[in-house]
A and B are shown apart, each in its own frame.
Chain A
Amino acid sequence: MSTLRLTRESISTSFYKYGLFIVFIALVMTFSVFNRNFLSGANASNLLRQTASTGIAAAGLVFVLVSGGIDISMGSTIFLSSVIVTTLANQGMGVPGAFVVALACGMLVGIINGFFVSVLRVVPLIVTLATLYVVRGVALALTGTQSLFFFNKVADFVAYTSLFGVVPVVVLIMAITLFLVQVVLSRTLFGRQLFAIGNNANGARVMGIKVRRNIFLTYVISGALAGLAGLVSGAQVGAITPTFAEGQEFIIITAAILGGVSLFGGKGSAFPGAFVGVLIVMCIENGLVMAGANMYFYTIVRGVVIFFAVMIDCMRNKGELR
């Protein structure tokens, strides 16, 4: 066991957790029956690379979900960040600059979300639904609805370089993100207070925890990581079309909930939780591709997966009928 405390679920929820791995293994086995290549090393590394962007964004979303909020604007944030980074990188910006810009423009979206949710107290679903459109609109205005092409040294470094020839940079970025996020969640006071807020916001307030400030920060962090995910996926895909990352928020939310992060707050982890969720989602998509499934079929599968993930979450945590 690592020094990180990864297991904090109670007995009842550990069933869910093991169930998750069982699902994952079952998936892997099913797909490898259909396609011998599925279990190959190349495909495994391919799978990991595919998870990078979603994994990073899902890690950010964990903050919001744990404290009892929701952020459905991430797809647009990813788009905005990749547009800005691509534009600047094409004008010669270097690798460090790209990271700073990606994080900063995601953070900006997060600040807006957080301000409306925590300071002005507008329902998070409506706020982030609106920023979903506003942010995409701004990004489209920047591109003039043209596709951008992200082929330069930044994209080369991020998407096509492997450290020591084995560890792809994208995977490294994801690993570092997951590590840091999990450390913040489980090893800092801020992280623990988020769990308290998600469990009982009023109780947290009575205890003197700065609830509003913490909630504000969750949106800033989720925004920033969506920005980083934008850099990664932009570099990997190479072509930033006007519909880039559209609907990505569904996949991110699905992955997080599938990974045991509760929609009702107070429960979940970035690693292994959300990460396993992302793996499962990507495994399904990857498997569908290899099994030669029809592309429209993916959407249906995504819907079914999110439905059951949420259903299990709702069986464990009873919310209000809304």
Chain B
Amino acid sequence: MQQPAADAPVLELKKLNKSFSGVQVLKDINLTLKRKGSVLGLVGENGAGKSTMMNILGGVLQRDSGEILLDGAPFNPRSAVDADQAGIALIHQELNLFLNMTIAENLYLNGAPGTRLGLLSYRTMNAEARKVLQRIGIDVAPGTMMDELSMGIRQMVEIAKALSQKARIVVFDEPTTSLSTKEKKDLFSIIRELSRSGISMIYISHTLDDVLSLCEEVAVIRDGAIMGQSPISEMNKGKMISMMVGRKLDQLFPFAEKKPAEVRLSVEDLCQGKTLRHVSFSLRSGEIAGLFGLMGAGRSELARAIYGVDPIERGKILFKNRPVEHPTPSWWIENGMAYITENRREEGLLMPKSVKENLVLASLQRMARTFGAVDTKAEEKYSDQAIERLDIKTYDKARQLARMLSGGNQQKVVIGKWLLTKPEVFIVDEPTRGVDVGAKLEIYTHLNALAREGSAILFISSEMEELIGVCDRIMVMCSGEITGELQREEFSQEKLLTLAIRSATHEHAAAD
């Protein structure tokens, strides 16, 4: 049955599959956008497969198998332009706008109304743009430069762009992360307005309250599979959370008893614009403290601020009870802190360099002999030590390049790099991202061993299971604040998520 039927759903995904280098990311995804103007919420943890699904729909990625039906007819987008033409618009979390141009120019970058003989008509473009902008209720001149607009208005311009391309289906990916409360309200009224005018939407978000108030239906995705799609009337927050987290433990976590001792690092009242608000915590030697939060909660930003990569507006950092005035990476390394960033490819490794070069990178200063020569024997010895201790699989540490290693081995190289600096405090940000299960287990074991040897470890992650499995306690962040802390005996995924999602109903929660 390939005939488009009048009553066919607007969009249907059937048994969609996708894997990246042998890892299945999407498993038999079934999803239906039933009628014109319906809003489907899509919720799931970070890395559950939402973005991949969206990118397949938008023609950015190609699926391995399965079907996409648009009004009942098969749809095979090969590029972003195909999706555009079919009326599917993606609004990415990182907006795809050009700040050096005006609103109208951004709207009509791939074809403009009123173009005659190849000449753009700014009058027509601006008039059309004004119409579209008015339709979503923003009162900004279409000739305004993008870089003069607030994040909220830029978001609206993305929507306007979708509308100007006659989109029938708009996919939002976490549209509210950088918006103020007022801007968020405006966005929601626009979404409702669009829905009334017959535009269907998929709304991806972590903020469950928003999903509950906006959407007619909700689908929950977990580990690349849809756990269920049901009308909002049959849903509530608790149910969504339990569907998001209700996964059976398919791996063992090696938790080790440790003896937390003195405070190594403490942070008092750290502030940085909207990203960090009055953050205070302390970290003891011999413990693994987890830091949980959803996308945009400020976890990585906190780590970067402490490590001196990003500036701090206010607050104190104490290392071994002594204040650190101007933290810089090299100061921290000298004094015994290591920082594994979430971005292994860009900030963790020199991808086109050898395993050995990567391993010794942070401890080069200690390997200097007369005339600044590198102690090559020490280089050999230490890199061998790291390879042995972490069981890094490499056939030739001097010639195998970091980019040729598997994700797990790459991450072990990053850990090894820091081990060689003999750190007393370890900040690890998403250390198991893009790493297979076997290597994950190894990484947990190494972290345990480090903590037992007396290191203080701050384990940042968006995977609740691993935090619950490995940490002694878990702090939770939301919108730049630490919203709570759970001790090991209190751990539960529901509690973590509730703390992480709190801010949407911050006022209510306080009243409760």
Number of A positions contacting B (CB below 8 A):
23
Q: Which of B114-122, B262-270, B464-472 lies on the face that meets chain A?
A: B114-122
Which residues of chain A in 9-25 are interfacial with respect to chain B, using CB atoms and an 8 Å cutoff?
Answer: 10-11
Take A5-B122, A189-B115, A192-B105 as given contacts and tell me if A199 and B96 are in contact as well, using a CB distance cutoff of 8 Å.
no
Please tell me if the beta carbons of A183 and B119 are within 8 angstroms of each other in the complex: yes
Interface string of B86-108 (1 = CB under 8 A from A): 00000000001111111001000
A209 at the interface (CB under 8 A from B): yes
A279 at the interface (CB under 8 A from B): no
Please tell me if the beta carbons of B109 and A207 are within 8 angstroms of each other in the complex: yes
The residues of B that contact A266 with a CB separation of less than 8 Å are: 98, 100
Partner of A206, one of B96, B101, B112: B96
Q: What CA separation (Å) do A207 and B98 show in the bound complex? A: 11
Interface string of B62-88 (1 = CB under 8 A from A): 000000000000000001110010000
Which residues of chain A in 43-83 are interfacial with respect to chain B, using CB atoms and an 8 Å cutoff?
Answer: none
Take A11-B148, A207-B109 as given contacts and tell me if A199 and B80 are in contact as well, using a CB distance cutoff of 8 Å.
no
Take A183-B119, A189-B115, A267-B100 as given contacts and tell me if A196 and B109 are in contact as well, using a CB distance cutoff of 8 Å.
yes
The residues of B that contact A267 with a CB separation of less than 8 Å are: 100
Report the number of A-B residue pairs with Cβ-Cβ less than 8 Å.
61
The residues of A that contact B84 with a CB separation of less than 8 Å are: 208
B147 at the interface (CB under 8 A from A): yes
The residues of B that contact A198 with a CB separation of less than 8 Å are: 100
Please tell me if the beta carbons of B102 and A8 are within 8 angstroms of each other in the complex: yes
Take A187-B120, A188-B120, A200-B98 as given contacts and tell me if A208 and B80 are in contact as well, using a CB distance cutoff of 8 Å.
yes
Partner of B98, one of A8, A187, A199, A208: A199
The residues of A that contact B80 with a CB separation of less than 8 Å are: 206-208
Take A208-B81, A208-B110 as given contacts and tell me if A192 and B96 are in contact as well, using a CB distance cutoff of 8 Å.
no
B212 at the interface (CB under 8 A from A): no
Please tell me if the beta carbons of A188 and B98 are within 8 angstroms of each other in the complex: no
Distance between B478 CB and nearest chain A CB, rounded to angstroms = 30
Which residues of chain A in 178-194 are interfacial with respect to chain B, using CB atoms and an 8 Å cutoff?
Answer: 183, 187-189, 192-193
Take A189-B120, A207-B109 as given contacts and tell me if A196 and B98 are in contact as well, using a CB distance cutoff of 8 Å.
yes
Take A199-B101, A208-B81 as given contacts and tell me if A8 and B110 are in contact as well, using a CB distance cutoff of 8 Å.
no
The residues of B that contact A10 with a CB separation of less than 8 Å are: 145, 147-148
Q: What CA separation (Å) do A198 and B102 show in the bound complex? A: 15
Take A11-B148, A195-B98, A196-B101 as given contacts and tell me if A209 and B110 are in contact as well, using a CB distance cutoff of 8 Å.
yes
A92 at the interface (CB under 8 A from B): no
Interface string of B114-138 (1 = CB under 8 A from A): 0100111010000000000000000
Q: What CA separation (Å) do A209 and B84 show in the bound complex? A: 12
Q: What CA separation (Å) do A106 and B80 show in the bound complex? A: 35
Which residues of chain B in 322-360 are interfacial with respect to chain A, using CB atoms and an 8 Å cutoff?
Answer: none
A303 at the interface (CB under 8 A from B): no
Chain B residue with the shortest CB-CB distance to A202: B96
Q: What CA separation (Å) do A8 and B118 show in the bound complex? A: 20
A203 at the interface (CB under 8 A from B): yes
Please tell me if the beta carbons of B145 and A8 are within 8 angstroms of each other in the complex: yes
The residues of A that contact B273 with a CB separation of less than 8 Å are: none
Interface-centre pick from B100, B105, B147, B148 (highest chain A CB count, 10 A): B100
The residues of A that contact B190 with a CB separation of less than 8 Å are: none
Chain B residue with the shortest CB-CB distance to A198: B100
Q: What CA separation (Å) do A209 and B79 show in the bound complex? A: 11
Q: What CA separation (Å) do A252 and B424 show in the bound complex? A: 56
Distance between A68 CB and nearest chain B CB, rounded to angstroms = 11
Chain A residue with the shortest CB-CB distance to B144: A10
The residues of B that contact A206 with a CB separation of less than 8 Å are: 60, 80, 96
Please tell me if the beta carbons of A188 and B101 are within 8 angstroms of each other in the complex: no
Q: A187-B119, A208-B81 are in contact. List 13 more A-B contacts (CB 8 A).
A: A10-B148, A188-B118, A189-B111, A189-B118, A192-B101, A193-B109, A196-B101, A203-B98, A206-B80, A208-B79, A208-B84, A208-B110, A209-B110
In the complex, 22 of the A-B residue pairs with CB atoms within 8 angstroms, ordered by the A residue number, are A8-B102, A10-B145, A10-B147, A183-B119, A187-B122, A188-B118, A189-B109, A189-B112, A189-B120, A193-B109, A195-B98, A195-B101, A196-B109, A203-B96, A206-B80, A207-B96, A207-B109, A208-B80, A208-B81, A208-B84, A209-B109, A266-B100
Top 7 closest pairs, chain A to chain B, by CB: A208-B81, A266-B100, A10-B145, A208-B80, A199-B98, A199-B100, A196-B98
Interface residues of A (CB under 8 A from B): 5, 8, 10-11, 183, 187-189, 192-193, 195-196, 198-200, 203-204, 206-209, 266-267
